[in-house]
Structure formats: C-alpha cells, structure tokens
Amino acid sequence: MGPNMVSISNPEVIPILYPTRPGFPKSDLYATLRPYSRDNNGLKVVFNTQDEALHKRIKSPIAPLYSLTNTVTFEPLVDEVLACLEEQLNKKFSDTGVPFNFGEYLQYFAFDVMGTLTFSKRYGFLEKGQDVDGILAAIWSHWKGSSAVTQITWADPIVSRNRFVRAFRKTGGMAIIGYIDSALKERILERRKTTRTKEKALSSTAISRSRHVDFLDHFLTAKEENPDLPSWAPTAWMFSNIVAGSDSTATVIRTVMCEFNI
C-alpha cells in the first residue's frame, strides 16, 4: 500500500504482528481511533495506544478480569438478561404475533449484558426496544467519523481533533465519555457512602452483600491498588467495554444466528 505501510489479511501472522511481547509498532491509524473530548486530545485505551510501555501499564491490572476463570463468575448476570430477553420477546411478539427484527433485539441483548456486567444495571434496550440515551447512535457516529481518517491519518488533527470544529459539533466519543463519567461519579459516590471512612475502599466482600461485583468495581479497585496509573485509566477501561465489548459481541451473536437461519 506504500513504502511504509503493508496490508495483511492472513490470520496466521496475527501472533507475529501482535505477540505477548512488544511486536511491530502500531501506525497512526490507531491514534485516529482515540475518542476525542474537549478535555483530552484522544483517550488512550488498551487497543489504540501506540506506546508499548503505556499499553503494558494499563493492560496488566485488568487482563485477569477477562480470563475464562473470572468471566464465568458473571454468568448469573448474563442469565438475568437472558430472562429479560425471553420476557420481552414473549410479551411484545410471541403473545401478539407482531413481526420484529430479531437481529436488533440480539444487539440490544448484547449491550444490556455488557451494561449489566460493567455497571450492574441494564441500559434498558430490551425493555424499550430501541436505542437508549443515544448510546448506539454515539457508537456508530464514533466509528463512522473515524473510518475516513484511518486512511488519511494526517487529516485527523484537522478534521477530528480541532477544538474550533468540535465547539460546533459534538463527537460520538464525547457522548460515550460523558455517559461513562456520569456512571463513574455515581459509583465513586456509592463507594464512599458505603465505607466507614472515605480513605478505605469498598471491599469485594462488602459489595457482594448487596449486589454482584461488576467490572466497574474491579476497575476502581485496580486504580486504587495501582496509584501510579493515569487518572483516566478507569474511563479507558469502561470505554472498551461499552464500545468494543458490546458492539463486537452483538456482531458475533447476530452472525451466528444468521448462519443458523434463525
């Protein structure tokens, strides 16, 4: 594709390009995928950071959370959302005979699952049968806005990270980060209220008495146990769960069901 860029489609070389140790340097394409906000010039998450040292710093504390051993502990929360999906489909369609788009509800299911795992509460997609708080629209806007500049990376600072332009146009990244900031503030306040002192973090045992320990609890604990991490680390981890976790999971589920002709 160019003197300094190669396009590879062979999946067998993925371990070579992305080994557990530092591999090939990431191009500026990854920088264009950082959600922009007025408070930063692009949120660095595990996926899009080009700095190998920073990548290791923000990935290591949370990597065990995504192991099979840990993810199976979230199964009761997934079962709750499955029960909600069944209830909504029966009430709205099975009992009424009204046709509907099953693919859309699978997407709503995936997002409500990730919302439950991350915040201990559903977004409400399944109950309302539509986008809630513009989350889906914001994610689509984020990827749509990033798609062009991934191929013309030099234009990204002009088109996507220009304070003058963004003063008149809100980005999808801004909307998602705003939602995350709201959830973070709410949880931090909850943790402070339920501890005997503001200095002592809420333990997993104490949390489990009232609800299941979710990803946000783990993220905040990881930040407390690693004070040298950037202050924006929990925001970055949550962004990945909402955008990458929910969207990719929804795509896989819809594809599987399509192949099964369901």
pLDDT tier for residue 89 given thresholds of 50, 70 and 90: very high
Please compute the mean of the pLDDT values over residues 236-260 and round it to a whole number.
Answer: 84
What is the percentage of the chain residues whose pLDDT exceeds 90?
21
Mean of per-residue pLDDT scores for the chain: 82
Q: Which CATH architecture has domain 48-259?
A: Orthogonal Bundle (1.10)
For residue 100, the cross-strand partners are none
For residue 2, the cross-strand partners are 5
Sequence spans of domains, the chain = 48-259
Give the residue ranges of DSSP H helices in the chain: 14-17, 29-32, 52-59, 68-71, 75-89, 102-119, 125-128, 135-149, 156-159, 163-166, 172-193, 204-210, 215-225, 233-239, 246-259
Please compute the mean of the pLDDT values over residues 168-184 and round it to a whole number.
Answer: 75
Closest-CA residue to 65 (of 211, 182, 243, 234) = 234
- pTM for the predicted model, two decimal places: 0.80
More confident residue, 102 or 162: 102
pLDDT tier for residue 207 given thresholds of 50, 70 and 90: very low
Q: What is the pLDDT of residue 226?
A: 93
How many Cβ atoms sit within 10 Å of the Cβ of residue 253?
16
Q: What does the pLDDT look like over 115-162, one tens digit per residue?
A: 899 988 888 899 999 988 888 888 888 788 788 888 888 888 777 777
What is the percentage of the chain residues whose pLDDT exceeds 70?
82
